Amino acid sequence: MTDADARTILEVSGLRKHFPIYGTLLKRKVGAVQAVDDVSFHIRQGETLGLVGESGSGKSTVGKLILRLIDPTAGEIHINGEDVTRAGSGRMRALRRDIQMVFQDPYASLNPRLSAGSIVAEPLHNYGEGSASEIEDRVKRLFLKVGLRPEAMAKYPHEFSGGQRQRLGVARALALEPELIVADEPVSALDVSVQAQVLNLLMDLQQEFNLAYLFISHDLAVVEHISHRVAVMYLGKIVELTDRETLFRDPQHPYTRALLSAAPVADPQVKRDRMILKGDIPSPINPPSGCRFHTRCPFVEELCRVEEPLLRDVAAEHSVACHLTDSA
């Protein structure tokens, strides 16, 4: 559990990202991919919010928007109370120190021509964080923090195993002492035996530095292991948001229930109804009317096809977007 009174680091409200589609003739806009549509959530200091959903749900786009790798179509992203969607490039550079990223594929995200030590030192040099020898000392300490030997500073990324490369990615993300790390599928490219080690490392670092994580993953077991709260996304929208225990014990949204019913259960005491999801996730270019899940929902009613259900509180700190769920 995290401290409910902890300071809010990240507050996202009404976030939208629609990628325009242009026709081949006259290059006119003919539609839009509604990748993220009216998404709101917050993350407190020292907390992990898991963002879970199938491929195409928009969860990675949310991560890119928060990091300002892409601009939102609408909405606000407040970091420590400041709206970064309005920050100029100078201010954004300062704010970037506070948010770092750990990528899915550590190999693709590490410069193969730089030594491991130079990779971790790079952000420190970019921000003028001390003399060359001070930076070298900090890099050594970072290597030890993430479970790498300082002698490995002279090696190149291809000389590391997958798990060690991800430790290197974590060391680089930590270098500027951020408050929030956006981790996009950080263990899905790793062997299962190595996944737990990297997850435990992230949890230890969170304890030590009071870090907040936005942890993006399609893997429910991984999300259950690391998250304090979980947001479930479907076709660009959050459909359920609550604490980890409630979500895995008593999911309310039919989509969450379907996802959980398809996932293996470690605890034999936990019984879940089997709910098979029919078909694939529809295209975000032309999402279904009303409830976006209505084309696959076994409980669909006429209202679901015409009216969009809003994300409403069904209990304290538990929100669900479904017409069949009673509000608090």
Q: For residues 44 and 227, what is the distance between their CA atoms, to the nearest angstrom?
A: 12
The site that binds ligand SF4 (CB under 6 A) totals a number of residues, namely: 13
Closer to ligand SF4 by Cβ: residue 172 or 296: 296
Burial 45-67 (b: 16+ CB within 10 A, else e): bbbbbbbbbeebbbbbbbbbbbb
Roughly how many angstroms between the first and final C-alpha of the chain, as a whole number?
Answer: 22
Helices and strands of the chain, counted as H and E runs: 11, 12
Among 28-36, 68-76, 82-90, 317-325, which window interacts with ligand SF4 (CB under 6 A)?
317-325
Q: For residues 257 and 252, what is the distance between their CA atoms, to the nearest angstrom?
A: 7
Nearest to 199 by CA among 229, 222, 230: 222
Nearest to 64 by CA among 243, 185, 230: 185
Among 1-9, 39-47, 223-231, 288-296, which window interacts with ligand SF4 (CB under 6 A)?
288-296
Binding residue for ligand SF4, selected from 228, 244, 294, 318, defined by CB under 6 A: 294
Minimum gap (Å) between residue 289 Cβ and ligand SF4: 11
Closer to ligand SF4 by Cβ: residue 201 or 300: 300
Contacts of 221 (CB under 8 A, 6+ apart): 263, 264, 266
Helix (H) or strand (E) holding 223: helix 220-226
Q: Are 110 and 119 in contact (CB under 8 A)?
A: yes
Minimum gap (Å) between residue 291 Cβ and ligand SF4: 3
3-state DSSP: the chain helix, strand, coil percent, rounded to 5? Answer: 35, 25, 40
DSSP letter at 98 equals T
Q: Say whether residue 17 binds ligand SF4 (CB under 6 A).
A: no
Q: Say whether residue 293 binds ligand SF4 (CB under 6 A).
A: yes
Q: Say whether residue 297 binds ligand SF4 (CB under 6 A).
A: yes
Closer to ligand SF4 by Cβ: residue 167 or 257: 257
Q: Which of residues 239-268 bind ligand SF4 (CB under 6 A)?
A: 254
Minimum gap (Å) between residue 56 Cβ and ligand SF4: 18
Contacts of 271 (CB under 8 A, 6+ apart): none
Compute how many other C-beta atoms are within 10 angstroms of the C-beta atom of residue 213. 24
Among 15-23, 90-98, 144-152, 319-327, which window interacts with ligand SF4 (CB under 6 A)?
319-327
Minimum gap (Å) between residue 252 Cβ and ligand SF4: 10
Q: Which amino acid is at 209?
A: F
Minimum gap (Å) between residue 309 Cβ and ligand SF4: 4
Q: For residues 304 and 261, what is the distance between their CA atoms, to the nearest angstrom?
A: 22
Phi, psi of 241 (to 5 degrees): -145, 120
Q: Say whether residue 299 binds ligand SF4 (CB under 6 A).
A: yes
Binding residue for ligand SF4, selected from 210, 300, 312, 315, defined by CB under 6 A: 300
Minimum gap (Å) between residue 156 Cβ and ligand SF4: 50
Q: Say whether residue 110 binds ligand SF4 (CB under 6 A).
A: no
Minimum gap (Å) between residue 155 Cβ and ligand SF4: 50
Closer to ligand SF4 by Cβ: residue 225 or 237: 237
Closer to ligand SF4 by Cβ: residue 168 or 304: 304
Q: Say whether residue 309 binds ligand SF4 (CB under 6 A).
A: yes
Rg, Å, the chain Cα set: 21
Site residues (CB under 6 A) for ligand SF4?
254, 291, 293-294, 297, 299-301, 304, 309, 322-324
